[in-house]
Amino acid sequence: MPIAVTDAITSLAVAEQTLALARWEEGGDFFTEWRDRLPPLSESDRAALAQLRRRYLYQRSAGQLLEGTVNLLLTSPLLAIAGFYDPPFQICAEPSVELAIGDGDESLQGRLDVLVLRDRLWIVVIESKKTALSVWTALPQSLAYLAANPDPDRPSFGFVTNGDEMFFVKLQQQPRRCYDLSRLFSPLTSLEELAIATQILRNLGNQ
């Protein structure tokens, strides 16, 4: 009987143990996609990001935002600016995923916020949380979703945000299952933080 991801994966330690997963500890050459050879942004891109940030800051100034509002104000328009709503990408809203664990007698099941596909390759999993929660609370479940990538020979990438902060994650399954993280970005701090995150999204889409 499938177990809900949110019920089974309650912490990073549980995620690592359940998924037979470990953080990459062998130098900085594993997850270079978030910092190397980032594509440039046009003036129109930066103008769109500035407007996105102004709207988010205005709505955020009234108090905490729920997950659906974060998706509406930030995640969805950011994906549009990064080009994920155009060919060759396909968007799946709240897709169901299932992952066999252990000897295969049990499985984890859950729904992602957004899944972006390119030729059946999982490019980026968007996991959003309401602003009252730390962005890191989404990491354990995000790792479980990335581990469900049906193509174990290719790495999968995740984008995790609560609106105020965001980070990226890379997970590979072969030759051994491991993951690593980018640094934390904060659109609340500056427009440049949001611009770099957009460049990283585009770079992941080009992989």
- Burial class of residue 102 in the structure, from the number of CB atoms within 10 Å of its CB (0-12 exposed, 13-18 middle, 19+ buried): exposed
Between strands 121-128 and 156-161, the pairing is: parallel
Per-residue CA distances from 177 to 47, 100, 117, 154 (Å): 40, 14, 21, 11
Burial of 74 (0-12, 13-18, 19+ CB in 10 A): buried
Distance between CA atoms of 52 and 115, rounded to whole angstroms? 21
pLDDT at position 172 is 93
Quote the pLDDT of residue 200: 97
pLDDT score at 45: 98
Is the CB of residue 123 less than 8 Å from the CB of residue 157?
A: yes
Three-state secondary structure call for residue 165? coil
Residues 87, 138, 178, 172, Cα dihedral to 10°: -10
pLDDT of residue 97: 58
Query: Cα separation of 64 and 66, whole Å?
Result: 7
Structure confidence at residue 63 (pLDDT): 93
Bridge partners, residue 160, by sequence: 127, 167
What per-residue confidence (pLDDT) applies to 80? 95
pLDDT at 104: 52
pLDDT 10s digit of each residue in the chain, 207 long? 566 666 677 889 999 998 899 999 887 789 999 999 999 999 999 999 999 999 999 999 999 988 889 989 999 999 999 999 999 998 886 555 555 555 555 655 556 677 787 766 676 777 788 888 888 988 988 898 888 887 888 899 999 998 999 999 999 998 889 999 999 999 999 999 999 999 999 999 987
pTM: 0.88
Q: What is the pLDDT of residue 196?
A: 98
Please tell me the predicted confidence (pLDDT) of residue 96: 59
Query: At 145, which amino acid appears?
Result: Y
Specify whether the CB–CB gap between 33 and 39 falls below 8 A. no
